[in-house]
Structure 1
């Protein structure tokens, strides 16, 4: 068995549509299962959380929250050094995204925008084998820079205790509390609030299908704000014969390593290069067998190498795919990048694997999946800021513009009060 190699053009809809239509994760089954959990947490609070944690995690909680600043940690200095370096780079990148309020005179009136942060945030961090402490950096840092005051980390409890790395990160990032409840019940606790857990206005971070379903459902009800709806991890690579096939194969496998539902799509114009990448994938399965079945399922079932007639066609399909991660490894990287319209994050050149953005370079790795980058952006400072528009109208401008307001309000049938609210100010003084 090997990765599918497809010869396509823009008219190959029967072959290409499967990558476009299969991109979205079906959460209908998970949503049906989590609805009773959400309702139980909403109505019974901490008691329901303790019951579900015992049922799903086999752990009896005495408390559903933890103060990270009350715990002594003894983390390996080398691990600290790595995360502190990542923290610095992520902070520097996101500091550049800060917004300043502004005002401008338009038609004699002062108009503007005031940026205000959301008041509270929960950052979800999966537990067990899917532990992603780097996602804590990605969720908390831009929120802190935006000015969010109340931030809590949400993570499932562990029988051997919470991972020390999560406690230490909470300390250095200034997280207010750790909510030691996972799954849909943890999301519900932060969305509704309980006796012990303050309600959050916004929830971000990766999780399993039940976490994703809970976030999407509650966001759809207007109860919380979320990062973009999440699906399986994905990478698209645009590469020509100048790229290193071994490196490209490794980059594809780095996405397959996330899960068997992950996808890795290589777009190229060179058949020989496509074959070389396929061969390198097979070699890697022999040389690096860790998570072998997972990686093979991802590569054989959800991934492909697609050979197009031209680089322009590769760019066209990448924009159709709107991938979470896009790598560009060609002789003309900047020219290709200039034509990219939709991607969560772009990695330019042979020395820019996705793993650099996942951990250390400074960009955010919480990204839209399932073609979401057509309408969503990566998590950033803007995610946690609200635009409050304001205006200060002068008496002279009000009098000058009233005739237009009169006509427009009459046209919409709202002249009795809308129109009058302006008119009386032209006829009377304070």
Structure 2
């Protein structure tokens, strides 16, 4: 069952609609299952965390937190070198996002913005087969640059203990503590706070559907801030006849490797390229059979190659799709990029696979999915900064502007107190 090749234009609404409507993960079932867990943590704190960890992870904990500084690690020096190089690149990119408070004079008054960090952050790191230590770098580094004062790592316990790589990262990133509780109960611990786990105001990081449901529900209750509502991983590739079909197939499969619900969509104007990419995918399934069933399901059921009549049509549909990752592999990448309005992160040219951004180039890989890039941005320093506006009004300006305040407050029926609060400060009033 090879990947489908569709021939579409802007009127092909029926064929294209499934890519626009099926992206967001349905968390309703997961939400119903996690609500008792959240309630249990809120009411019983540490006791509930011990019980749920034994029930869901099969591990009987003696403590819920670890001080990273108290643990000796023996991480392979070559792995250290890779993560330190990534850390340096991520820091360089995010340091450029620093914000400075500012003020200016408007109509005689000093107005401005003061930037303040969120008070605390929890970074979730999955365990087991879904171990993503790179996401710890992505979550913590911009928060450190934003000067978030308190950061804790939430991760499920493993039968052999917390992975050394996570402990070492917690050490070099100066994370305050590791909370050895995963799943919805770990998210609840960060949102509510317990006897052992301090409350966090913000939480970021990938996780399964129960983690995503807990983040979304608790965010909706106003208990925590989150990065953005999450769905399956996705890539969209805009390519022309000069693109390398083998490379494109590899990039599509790198997303399929995340899970069977992932999607990879190629948009092109060239029928020959479409057929070559289709063939390269089948070759790859034979040559690289690891996680074969997962990759095949993602490619055959959630992905597609779409041939459009023009490059402008490819760009139009990419903007409709608003993908998490967008690769542009065309003769004139910059002219295509100039027309892109919605994407989590864009990868320009043949030597910019998504995997570079996932690990080492320096941009953040915590990105909006499920068309979320129409309204959300990638995780960055701004994610952890609040804008506090301020003003200092002069006596002269207050007296000059009072007549306008009087008229506007009367129009809104608020002149008795709003208008009076300005009037009593004018000349002749006490």
Report the alpha carbon displacement of residue 208 of structure 1 after superposing the two structures with TM: 0.3
SS at match of 2:424: helix
Give yes or no for the alignment of 1:55 onto 2:17. Answer: no
| Separation in 1, partners of 2:279, 2:393 | 69
1:173-212 to 2 correspondence within 5 Å? 173-212=173-212
Q: Structure 2 unaligned segments of length 5 or more: list them.
A: none
Which residue of structure 2 lines up, in the alignment, with residue 8 of structure 1? 8
| Separation in 1, partners of 2:69, 2:4 | 51
CA deviations 1:174-224 (Å, max 9, x no partner) are 100001000000000000000000000000000000000000000011110
Which residue of structure 2 lines up, in the alignment, with residue 132 of structure 1? 132
CA deviations 1:231-286 (Å, max 9, x no partner) are 00000000011110000000000000000000000000111110000000000000
| Separation in 1, partners of 2:398, 2:127 | 59
Which residue of structure 1 lines up, in the alignment, with residue 373 of structure 2? 373
1:31-180 to 2 correspondence within 5 Å? 31-180=31-180
Which residue of structure 2 lines up, in the alignment, with residue 384 of structure 1? 384
Which residue of structure 2 lines up, in the alignment, with residue 426 of structure 1? 426
Query: How many residue pairs align between the two structures?
Result: 430
| Separation in 2, partners of 1:29, 1:275 | 39
TM-score (norm 2): 0.99
Give yes or no for the alignment of 1:317 onto 2:317. Answer: yes
| Separation in 1, partners of 2:266, 2:179 | 40
TM-score (norm 1): 0.99
| Separation in 2, partners of 1:42, 1:127 | 23
| Separation in 2, partners of 1:76, 1:358 | 21
CA deviations 1:369-389 (Å, max 9, x no partner) are 000000000000000000000
| Separation in 2, partners of 1:428, 1:120 | 49
| Separation in 1, partners of 2:62, 2:162 | 14
CA deviations 1:23-73 (Å, max 9, x no partner) are 111000000100010000001000000000000000001111111110001
SS at match of 1:339: coil
| Separation in 2, partners of 1:415, 1:188 | 46
Which residue of structure 2 lines up, in the alignment, with residue 239 of structure 1? 239
Report the alpha carbon displacement of residue 427 of structure 1 after superposing the two structures with TM: 3.7
Which residue of structure 1 lines up, in the alignment, with residue 251 of structure 2? 251
Which residue of structure 2 lines up, in the alignment, with residue 26 of structure 1? 26
Tell whether the 8 Å contact from 2:399 to 2:427 is kept in structure 1 after alignment. Answer: no
| Separation in 2, partners of 1:319, 1:421 | 49
Which residue of structure 1 lines up, in the alignment, with residue 332 of structure 2? 332
Q: Structure 1 unaligned segments of length 5 or more: list them.
A: none
SS at match of 2:153: strand
CA deviations 1:49-101 (Å, max 9, x no partner) are 00000000000011111111100011100000000000000000000000000
Which structure 1 residue ranges, 4+ long, deviate > 3 Å from structure 2?
427-430
SS at match of 1:426: coil
| Separation in 2, partners of 1:192, 1:69 | 25
Which residue of structure 1 lines up, in the alignment, with residue 301 of structure 2? 301
Tell whether the 8 Å contact from 2:235 to 2:323 is kept in structure 1 after alignment. Answer: yes
SS at match of 1:115: strand
Which residue of structure 2 lines up, in the alignment, with residue 289 of structure 1? 289
| Separation in 2, partners of 1:196, 1:303 | 44
| Separation in 1, partners of 2:213, 2:224 | 13
| Separation in 2, partners of 1:75, 1:250 | 30
| Separation in 1, partners of 2:410, 2:213 | 46
| Separation in 1, partners of 2:428, 2:327 | 65
Report the alpha carbon displacement of residue 341 of structure 1 after superposing the two structures with TM: 0.1
| Separation in 2, partners of 1:429, 1:67 | 61
Tell whether the 8 Å contact from 2:201 to 2:224 is kept in structure 1 after alignment. Answer: yes
Tell whether the 8 Å contact from 2:259 to 2:295 is kept in structure 1 after alignment. Answer: yes
| Separation in 2, partners of 1:429, 1:137 | 59
Report the alpha carbon displacement of residue 429 of structure 1 after superposing the two structures with TM: 7.2
Tell whether the 8 Å contact from 2:423 to 2:429 is kept in structure 1 after alignment. Answer: no
| Separation in 1, partners of 2:171, 2:295 | 35
| Separation in 1, partners of 2:340, 2:408 | 41
Report the alpha carbon displacement of residue 287 of structure 1 after superposing the two structures with TM: 0.2
| Separation in 2, partners of 1:134, 1:233 | 16
| Separation in 1, partners of 2:4, 2:195 | 53
SS at match of 1:388: strand
